[in-house]
Amino acid sequence: MYGKGLRALSISTVAVMSVALGLVFFWVPLEAEQGFLQKIFYVHVPLAIVSLCGFVAGGIFAIQHLRTREQKWDFRSYVAIHTSLIFGVATLITGSIWAKGSWGHWWVWDEPTLVSFLIVFLLYATYQPLRFAIEDPERQARYASVFAVTAGAFVPLNFVAVRASTAYVHPRVLGATSNLPWQMSLTFLVSLLGMALLFTTLCKYELTAKHTRAQLRALMRLAERRAGASTSAPPQRGRSAAPSLHATAMTANPSEGRAR
């Protein structure tokens, strides 16, 4: 049952996001150099961090899928990467807006952090077409998992490579070089928590919706079979990038759903 705890999670997300917005606009002091423009930092950086963590989580779920061959891990990997892509789009747009306000350009090609994020985003943008190109669901899940593991390993490597580069044009937020005042650090951490909760909530909504749809389809097939409409023909599945969820896989261990 993917919908378990969804209401509490949604309420916590709204509460933390509201607190974060209150802190950003009414409490945290203005930054000396950028002034009001620096408020974008509290939305752009958490979006980027959560997006990258989501890509890595997709890779971890994919490892689980390759180890156990259980469909649910492929399903989770797909949803994590799918949601991370949406967060990635938001990161790129908010980053562009910040760059325009701060540097006077929508995009700067000689800034390693920007370009590396774009590379990661474009890499993951091929994930959906890759899935769509493979019709056999088993093969699709396996290939997608291999892709998610490889790309997921690339994300932290890329992050370390950018950090090790000499150009420090992009401000550092986390680590020993961070010199944020405590009010800014606290606001940033609340924003990061809010964004992480938003990511988790959206993932859970997606998982619940897709799972419910799969269950309904399975029920419809059962009803059709009982009515004698299709006694021997296997269920037809159109080509899709989304993982296929079989009713047998979902109902094989109903107690597991309750424990989750």
Partner 1 sequence: MSALLAVLPALPLHEAGKYVAGAYVVLFALVLIYVGIMAVRSRRLERDLAELLAREQRASRAEGDAPAEGSADSAGAQSQTARRESTLV
Maximum C-alpha span of the chain = 74
Q: Residue holding tokens 């997300």?
A: 13
Smallest gap from Cβ 227 to partner 1, in A, equals 6
CB of 111 to partner 1, least distance (A): 18
What's the CA gap between 63 and 77, in Å, rounded?
A: 9
Among residues 35, 129, 234, 254, the one that binds partner 1 under rule CB under 8 A: 35
Q: Which burial class, exposed, middle or buried, applies to 11 when counting CB atoms under 10 A from its CB (0-12, 13-18, 19+)? A: exposed
Question: What is each CA distance from 128 to 48, 70, 143, 239, 241, in whole angstroms?
Answer: 20, 20, 12, 12, 6
Q: Can residue 34 be called a binding residue for partner 1 (CB under 8 A)?
A: yes
Our CB check for partner 1 shows the closer of 44 and 131 to be: 44
For the beta carbon of residue 188, count every other beta carbon within 10 angstroms. 23
Comparing CB distances to partner 1, the nearer of 133 and 189 is 189
Q: Is 7 in the site for partner 1 (CB under 8 A)?
A: no
237 lies in the binding site for partner 1 (CB under 8 A): no
Interface with partner 1: number of residues (CB under 8 A): 33
Binding of partner 1 at residue 32 (CB under 8 A)? no
Nearer to partner 1, 158 or 187 (CB): 187
**Does 205 engage in binding with partner 1 (CB under 8 A)?**
yes
Give the rounded distance of the alpha carbon of 78 from its chain centre. 9
**DSSP per-residue codes, 151-169:** HHHHHHHHHHHHHHSS---
Cα–Cα distance measured from residue 121 to residue 115, given in angstroms and rounded to the nearest whole number: 10
159 sits near partner 1 (criterion: CB under 8 A): no
Is the Cβ of residue 116 or residue 208 nearer to partner 1 in the bound state? 208
Burial of 123 (0-12, 13-18, 19+ CB in 10 A): middle
According to the binding rule CB under 8 A, does residue 39 interact with partner 1? Answer: yes
Q: How far is the CB of 186 from partner 1 (least distance, A)?
A: 17
Number of C-alpha atoms within 13 angstroms, CB side, residue 218?
14
Contact status: 66 vs partner 1 (CB under 8 A): no
User: At residue 88, what is the residue type?
Assistant: G
Should residue 101 be labelled a site residue for partner 1 when binding is judged by CB under 8 A? yes
Cβ distance 13 to 28 under 8 Å?
Answer: no
List the one residue from 37, 63, 130, 180 that touches partner 1 (CB under 8 A): 37
Binding site for partner 1 (CB under 8 A): 25-26, 30, 34-37, 39-40, 43-44, 47, 86, 89-90, 93-94, 97-98, 100-101, 198, 202, 205, 209, 212-213, 216, 219-220, 223, 226-227
